[in-house]
Amino acid sequence: PTCKASPMTTSVLDSCLNFPEEEEVILRYWKEIDAFRTSISLSAGKPEYTFYDGPPFATGLPHYGHILAGTIKDTVTRYAHQTGHKVSRRFGWDCHGLPVEYEIDKALGLNSREEVLAMGIGVYNSHCRSIVQRYTREWETVVTRLGRWIDFENDYRTMDLSFMESVWWVFKTLFDKGLVYRGYKVMPYSTTCATPLSNFEAGLNYKDVTDIAVVVSFPLRDEPNVSLVAWTTTPWTLPSNLALCVNAHLNYVQVRSVADKKIYIVAEMRLTQLFPALRSKKFQQGDEARIYEVLKSFKGAELVGRMYEPLFHFYDSAERRSCAFKVIADEYVTSEAGTGIVHQAPAFGEDDYRVCVRNKIVDVIMNGERSLPCPVDANGRFVSPVSGDLQGMPVKLADAAICSLLHKMGRLVLKESHEHSYPFCWRSDTPLIYKAVPSWFVAVETIRENLIQNNKQTYWVPASVKEKRFHNWLVDAKDWAISRNRFWGTPIPLWVSEDHKEMVAIGCVAELRAKCELADGSQIPMDLSDLHRESVDSLVVASPSRSGVFLHRVDEVFDCWFESGSMPYAQLHYPFECSEKEFLKKFPADFIAEGLDQTRGWFYTLMVISTALFNKPAFKNLIVNGLVLAADGKKMSKRLKNYPDPTLVINAHGADALRLYLINSPVVKGETIKFVESGVRGVLRDVLLPWFNAFRFFTQQASRWEIKNSTGNKFTQDNDRVRKSQNIMDVWIMASLDSLVHFVHEEMRTYRLYTVVPRLVGFLGDLTNWYVRLNRSRLKGTDGEDSALTSLAVLYDVLLKMTVIMAPFTPFFAEYLYQHLRKRLLTSNTANLPEDAIGKADSVHYIMLPLAGNPKADGKVLVGMSLLQQVVELGRRAREAATISMKTPVKRVIIVCDSALTLDGLRGELESYVLEELNTWEIVLTSDVETWCSISALPNLPILAKRLGKQVRSAADAIKGLDSASLRSFSRTGSIMICVDGKLLHFSKGDLIVKSAFSGDSTRYIATSSSDGGLTVAVCTVQDDALRRQGITRDFCNRVNKLRKKRKLNIADQVDIFYAESAPLDNISTTRALACNSNLLNRARIYPVDFSSCRGQILISDKYASPGGSNNLSIALAVPAPSLAPAAKKKFAGYVALETLLATCDLSNSKIHGSLENNPFELKLGIDIFPSASSARSLGKGILAPSKPCA
């Protein structure tokens, strides 16, 4: 089967293509031929290329971040397939974790852990299971519509028994290696979701908030009239205060407040926090004495060990007083904020916990959780021993009440508002707290060096993320809390005694059956098919050392990041269904890709687990994409509706346009992008449509050639003709294509999409804007049909190879082009070709990418074409500056370049292209820059100032004083030595801003120069009647072609062209202009005839004012009708009956004869009568010679 034409078009010759609808047709075609699976089967036996797909949650719809990552993954894996690899691509789903539970809690109105337990874990988890894949169909629809090829039928799910069993194996392996332990850790904690979060999750949703900040007094026991003062933005933690922390090396002062005579101790550098008047704009140096009096000064070390009066009585006991409520010291206290004295609540601050444990304020090893003052329950409410009005109050709402209590107690020194950035729960959008929770940890710190070394073995794009962000994270890697106090997740397979002295880790279902039993002593059912909590919580393990003692499973489930980090093993059900040999073929992955936000997420967990298991990285190559922001630079938000629906964008512009927009942006090298739909529209307009138009033009001209070809043969590809062509444009485009192929392979091997895609787009620009445009007349047969055939063969070859090269990047349009282009390949011997051979292959995506050959172009051709492009661009800019239309010819263009060798590249064949492109009668090539141009230079101050410092002024003067010879040498070499303050300094490209100015006759020329001043193009602005007449003729041809396009005429459609003008200017009338420029009309195959000769039905017409010619000019395209030559028309003037006869006569004979009013006549075909007015005109029988010479 072959791809059908678009529903919007019946022929590729039509001028429009509905890209989105064509993509839908191609999707149906791929489904019809089972393209993805066929491509996999065709790659059997080829080297394996392993790709891991990070599992997304299916509880929400895909957004642009997913689309971007999916496009990168699809592009790279398609490229891998098309370079001779077998690439298995499985989709995965992250089914467990907080996102699912949060949705269920909202739906069922559950607000606490106790409510879940009352419902029953089994019932709760069944609700979770029911919504886990709520949007899987939508995901598959969007991913498929995007053109991504990935296996949804053989997907993996983290909630499947096989996946969970491998996760158990991973955990048991780490446990057996001594890398798992139980401890306490202050972690970000969501009171709404009643669970701790990882630091990565806590960093997802920071907001600027205004909180209450207080300064509180702590009277010393041995000096009750002297108080230490501490500042905090979390007053709700004050009921749990056990210590105050200072910095032993900071200077502290004991001061008396002038206002209330109270004595305080504060860091000398932080007096402004205690006395806000010091921060006032009205404060002046010397006013301190009116605010406070310094009584003494000392180092923080002198305060260490001093005891103070507890703030609240909740934890005030004789046991506590023996070790707590004293001053301790640590380096984390600074003089940058607060009072230099930090209140310590070890259950609610990471540093607080660390410092208090180190100073034996709390002892969790000996006394367990009892030593941690944590009067906050799982839902963030105050519980005993906190009493009174505070009990039961949510802690984040208790600040005002606590401040009121402190005021009544006389301990509130200062209360003010404080704006700062604060973490919110990424699911519930409520403020987080930091809370010490008992957790199971992986001892990451013990393998930290291995992590750093394994990271060195990986390749990242961009490298800076690996070498800085990720490396720094590994260098400071902390032990990983892998447990969560939740319900819907993989249960941690650890059975422990009540005192935690006996522990048994279970690593698989078989071991579970062997070691576990139900609480009543019965065996586990043989049909056990699930490992969630409701299935394993009731199982017990007999103590290995104590008779009659049973171990029970710990309450926690795995952090879902532990599961996603285990996916390389769990997706294969390793080591159970997947052998060691097969596993090593797929591990580590050749390639993974996700967003920058996964640096501390999936990338990290993959690295930790693979290092802990095998001491090797889990992946070899990685592309890190940046973030896709809304057009306003903010995070995309469903609530704000600040971004367009991806589905609507694809339906409007097509998936290829969206894909190319995303991967042709800085986002593929880890930078951010502001998504704007107009950018997608721009890709369609500037890349895909010109590409289609180049193909359409080829098809038109191939059809024209077939019509003109007397043998009746169809155009088919002739590779020998392509190889043998000596035409300079053919040689250039083929050499450019070969260079492109080489570049694509080199860069894709290093995963640098950010260099590959711009180069691909650039080549398409060269193809459409230069090769096709400069060869239009040749392709139309102006230089002969043999030359046209060669140019068609070259264009076909380039188009066909580009469809294959672009297939990984724009899979839909590449397929569209291939299905049409393959029809023109010789197919008589395809039976013996492999199924993935070009032409025989049913899809372009089966075909291997071309390899670079040995182009025959020498450097002169490439240099010449580069110069031609520069000259044409500069010439157009000069014409625009002079407001001379491109349709209006100019007498002369002067091209000035200081390199005669470079100019030689333009001589010969390329010179004619410059004449045509700049619509000039003459070009002058000169290297006499001194005559035509002046040159000057300015220093690039921002760059030089950093390097030269104070010398920059002297350097600037020296640069401005350079002579033209030195500057021209610098322009050529990009290097110069300049004497600055008696010393020779080296300057390179970028240090100097070189400017070239045209010094010729500005009354006759207008010029523009290249940015480096090395090339100047001057256009003659003097116009005369001959130039204007040629401009009128070009404009006439342009309008005829526009009328043909508007009427949707194909190239094979023949029409007669008629015109009529009124009020012409004598010397430059349209009639005279056309007569004087018949050579232009012949090249364009446009043969206009006076409107009086019109006989056929008019198809379309237009009236306009001809620029510089007629005030009123009419053009009409008509159905061809028999037409008399001027001599015959004159001979038979007045015979009305002849007009009727001509309309009905048969022109198949060479003669027409009869009688008119009894007078016999004979009309010879091709002499007296013609099939159309245009044919009479083209053969010279209808041309009106100019009444005056054209010169």
Nearest of 170, 175, 180 to residue 570 by alpha carbon = 170
Is the distance from CB of 310 to CB of 373 less than 8 angstroms? no
The DSSP secondary-structure symbol of 1111 reads S
In DSSP notation, 32-69 reads HHTHHHHHHHHTTTSPB--B--PPPBSSS---HHHHHH
Marked catalytic residue, from 495, 602, 770, 932: 602
Tell me the residue length of the chain: 1191
94, 559, 766, 797: which is the annotated catalytic residue?
A: 94
| 46 assigned to active site | no
Residues 6+ apart with CB under 8 A from 1184: 1071, 1075, 1090
Of 1188, 881, 852, 889, the C-alpha closest to 1005 is: 881
List 635, 856, 891, 995, catalytic entry: 635
Structure tokens at 658: 């969206």
638 is an active site residue: yes
Q: Where are the alpha helices (DSSP H) in 615-727?
A: 646-653, 655-663, 677-683, 689-708, 719-724
3-class SS of residue 924: strand
Distance CA 400, CA 212 (A): 8
Q: Out of 20, 30, 53, 55, which one is annotated catalytic?
A: 55
Hey, how many other C-beta atoms are within 10 angstroms of the C-beta on 356?
28
Q: Is 55 a catalytic residue?
A: yes
Taking the C-alpha atoms of residue 481 and residue 184, their distance in angstroms, rounded to an integer, is 9
What is the distance of C-alpha 341 from the center of its chain?
A: 47
The rounded distance, in Å, linking the Cα atoms of 1186 and 1025 is 14
DSSP string for residues in 456-473? HTSEEESHHIIIIIIHHH
Q: Are β-strands 893-897 and 923-926 bridged in parallel, bridged antiparallel, or unpaired?
A: parallel
Q: What is the DSSP letter of 713?
A: P
Residue 491 gets which letter from DSSP? B
Residues 6 or more apart from 468 whose CB is under 8 A from it? none
480 an active-site residue? no
* Nearest CA among 594, 528, 533 for reference residue 561: 594
The token pair at 254 is 């004991």
Q: Which of 106, 207, 456, 638 is catalytic?
A: 638
Amino acid (one-letter) located at 339: T
Tokens of 64: 């642009």
Question: Which amino acid is residue 200, in one-letter code?
Answer: F
Q: Which residues of 101-134 are buried (b: 16+ CB within 10 A; e: fewer)?
A: bbbbbeeeebeebeebeeeebeebbebbbeebbe
185 assigned to active site: no
Q: Which of 231, 331, 311, 245 is nearest to 275 (CA)?
A: 231
3-class SS of residue 329: strand
Angle, CA of 299, 349 and 562, to the nearest 5°: 140
For the chain, the C-alpha Rg in angstroms (whole number) is 41
User: Coil, helix or strand for 302?
Assistant: helix
457 is catalytic: no
Q: How far apart are CA 477 and CA 974, in angstroms?
A: 47
Residue-wise DSSP of 246-274: E-TTSEEEEEEETTT--EEEEEGGGHHHH
Q: 276 an active-site residue?
A: no
DSSP state of 94: B
Sign of CA dihedral 1122, 1128, 1129, 1131: negative
Q: Of 344, 571, 598, 819, which residue is the catalytic one?
A: 598
**How wide is the angle at C-alpha 912 spanned by C-alphas 910 and 918, nearest 5°?**
100
Point out the residues that are catalytic.
55, 94, 561, 598, 602, 635, 638
